[in-house]
Amino acid sequence: MFRKSREFWLLLLLMLLAGSSFAIQRFPRPEFETGYQQPETMLPGPRAEIMAVVDLAVLILALSAVSWMVLKKRSRKGVFWVSMFSLVYFGFYREGCICAVGSVQNVTLALFDPTYPIPLTVLAFFIIPLIFTLFFGRTFCAGVCPFGAMQDLVAFRPKTINSKVDAALGMMPYLYLGLAVLFAATGTDFIICRYDPFVGIFRINAGFSMLLFAAILLLTGIFIARPYCRYLCPYGVLLNWISRFSYRHMTITPAECINCRLCENSCPYGAIKIPNSVKYAETRRQRVRKLMFITLLFPFLMVGGGWAGSRLQETFAGVNRTVKLAKELLVSDQNGQDVESFEIKAFRSSGKPLTEVYQEARIILHRFLIGGWILGAFLGLTTGLMVAGKLLENHQSDYVPDKGACLSCARCTDYCPVMGNTMPTELNHKA
Amino acid sequence: MPTRRVFLQNLIRGGILAGLGLLTGSLVFRSRKGGTCRLNISCNACSKNGSCTLVPAFETRQFVWQLDPSKCIQCGRCATECVHTPSAVKCVHVYAMCGYCDLCGGYFKPDTKTLNTGAENQLCPTSAIKRSFIEDPFFEYTIDENLCIGCGKCVKGCGAFGNGSLQLQIRHHICDNCNECAIARKCPAGAFSRVPATSPYLLKGFGKQPLSGDKTGGPESF
């Protein structure tokens, strides 16, 4: 036995000297004499493709059901039960993947990388909630998004947040969306999926950091209703924009508002606009000055933001794997390290020329420069819009939902004492 | 001016709808690198299935993650980076390629003196490989996937000293098919890619690969 194995080692040594490449048939398949049956290699398949269509059907049905509950039935209970169903289906059954929030990145990657095949279902998960929002407001947030449903469950003691703090925190989704688009467009990373707070809970396998993030969100969620949706969700930015132009947004009252103030504190998200009739409190001079300030603010913020964004080029690009590899190779070639990282080992064994990696890294770095400018300018623009929105506040005489921020959860409808079923169209437009 | 306001709002609504339509249209109907298939039938129904490099015009196919064993350098990150513990990456034994060696590079540690099933001789940290005698001098090696953590130690050994019949693959009944695979992010060799769900395995040296339960053909011998 011992001799046999020594011979074997000699043979192996020879083979190694001859150069070991992958999967060479060094030892032929033996001819068995005992009638041995070779077992089959088991290859279990993935989920059936048709199930993607089921997901899509459930999405459309859930969106329709919530929209009907919010706009026709005006029932918070109905919205709640649809959202619980969505939590179970999209959350715990589908384990958080496929989701509309993350699909932003797939769509971005597909736009910038023509080799990335975006499945139609992912595209549909991105587009369909947006279309529903254009017609009925953010009903997706109210009852289809499992993240929202999760946070709605713990919103026991929602506190009103100072409007300035709210506006400042409200800038975070823009930053998150901008970064997610930048990293997806350069093919670097899907940061929305990477820092997803709840997917680990849906799968009951969260790591420590994810568990911590989710715990923080859910604990804050007791006092600040839906913190992720309001101060982080990047898809919420798109829904917010589109919802401002929604055709038939939900209304607090089914008929004419009687200014009874019963709904005033009913919104846990601070999305109810309180009537103010101080329309002519400012002089003409003050208004002109304000407008001048706003007009000057925009170019300043956008150019400043763009410049700052472009400065961060190297920091952002450092996340990219090709740039990282190029950096490591540069250091390793200069210093001649003894222990090479797996990345360098893998690169050396792939036989790719060094110049190609440097070239690729240079292209990606340049993309980050342009991306940094655009990201900075975008953030400058949104900051400017936020400031302008604060300075030029709208004046209205009724209690109406802020169409951008309203998540159509229908809580306020329970507080409205006005009876009636449907709202006249002209009133709806006035809102 | 309520009517003008309504008109403007409708204009913006129309614009948003048109924009969304344009986005959808451009993503669905665009031509891609490597050419676009104009047949517009499912790849299963096409006679060229498997040998064609064209991208379907309508991307209705689902994609799943898989790793290419020919790029894999067995760094061991599959065992640690997956959102699942133990990992959804497992060692798959392609029996058709196996040499049934007595001295298996994937089973024994390189400095093993005695070729027996003693734990101190085994390369696998979880003893997931079972060695059973068939006939002199051949042994069969089977993998207990419940024990396999996807570390790739055996894959490295088999690839270096043997036929390379042990290969790492994502097992699709375990994989959650995350939007972005956590292992793909950390794979130093860039071996992970999205593959069509209709042919979800990338095993090497193994002809036609029917999925388990698929009766349309058996594995061809190497």
Average pLDDT over residues B168-191: 93
Maximum Cα–Cα distance for chain B, whole Å? 96
Give the dihedral sign, CA B211/B213/B216/B222: positive
Q: Does B3 touch chain A if contact means CB atoms closer than 8 Å?
A: no
CB of B33 within 8 Å of a chain A CB? The answer is yes
- DSSP at B59: -
Q: What is the pLDDT of residue A213?
A: 94
pLDDT for position A381: 97
CATH no., domain B64-196 = 3.30.70
Interval A142-194: pLDDT, tens = 999 999 999 999 999 999 999 889 999 999 999 999 999 999 999 999 999 99
Taking only the tens place, the pLDDT of each residue in A376-390 is 999 999 999 999 988
80-99 in chain B: CB under 8 A from chain A: 83-85, 92-99
% chain A with pLDDT above 70: 90
Q: A351-387 burial, b for 16+ CB within 10 Å, e for fewer?
A: eeeeeebeebbeebbebbbebbbbbbbbbbbbbbeeb
Round the average pLDDT of chain B to a whole number and report it: 83
Measured between beta carbons, which residues in chain A are less than 8 angstroms from residue B114?
A: 1
* Residue B82 pLDDT grade (very low, low, confident, very high; cuts 50, 70, 90): very high
Q: Is the pLDDT of residue A14 over 50?
A: no
What is the rounded average pLDDT of the residues B123-144? Answer: 93
pLDDT at A12 over 50: no
> Residue type for B128, please?
A
Chain A residues with CB under 8 Å of B84 CB are: 205
> What is the reported pLDDT for A17?
43
Residues ≥6 apart with Cβ < 8 Å to A51 = none
- Which chain A residues are Cβ-neighbours of B30 within 8 angstroms? 114
The residue extents of the domains of chain A are 53-276+402-430, 284-391
pLDDT at position B39, please?
56
| Residue numbers of A between 401 and 420 with CB closer than 8 Å to B | none
pLDDT category of residue A430 using cuts at 50, 70 and 90: very low
List of chain A residues whose C-beta atoms are within 8 Å of the C-beta of residue B32: 114-115, 117
pLDDT at A61: 97
For residue A267, what are the contacts with CB-CB under 8 A and spacing of at least 6?
A: A401, A406, A411, A412
Domain ranges in chain B with CATH number 3.30.70: 64-196
Kindly provide the ipTM of the predicted complex, given to two decimals. Answer: 0.83
Pairwise CB contact (< 8 Å): B98 & A99 = no
Instruction: Tell me the average pLDDT across A100-104.
Output: 95
The string of DSSP letters for A295-310 reads HHHHHHHHHHHHHHHH
Rounded to whole angstroms, how far apart are CA atoms A247 and A79? Answer: 20
Residue A22 confidence (pLDDT) above 60: no
Of residues A134 and B58, more confidently modeled:
A134
Q: Taking a C-beta distance cutoff of 8 angstroms, is the pair B74, B160 a contact?
A: no
pLDDT digits over A225-280, tens only? 999 999 999 999 999 999 999 999 999 998 888 989 899 889 999 999 988 766 66
> What gap in Å lies between CA A71 and CA A79, rounded to an integer?
10
**Looking at the predicted structure, is the pLDDT value of residue A94 above 60?**
yes
Q: State the sign of the Cα–Cα–Cα–Cα dihedral A128, A129, A134, A137.
A: positive
- Beta carbons of B141 and B152 less than 8 angstroms apart: no
Within 8 A of B179 by CB-CB distance, chain A residues are 97-99, 102, 105-106, 190, 193
Give tens-digit pLDDT for A117-155.
788 889 999 999 999 999 999 999 999 999 999 999 999
Q: What percent of chain A has pLDDT over 90?
A: 64
Reduced to 3 states (helix: H, G, I; strand: E, B; else coil), residue B139 is: strand
Does residue B17 sit at the A interface (CB-CB below 8 Å)? Answer: yes
Q: Is the pLDDT of residue A2 over 50?
A: no
pLDDT of residue A127: 96
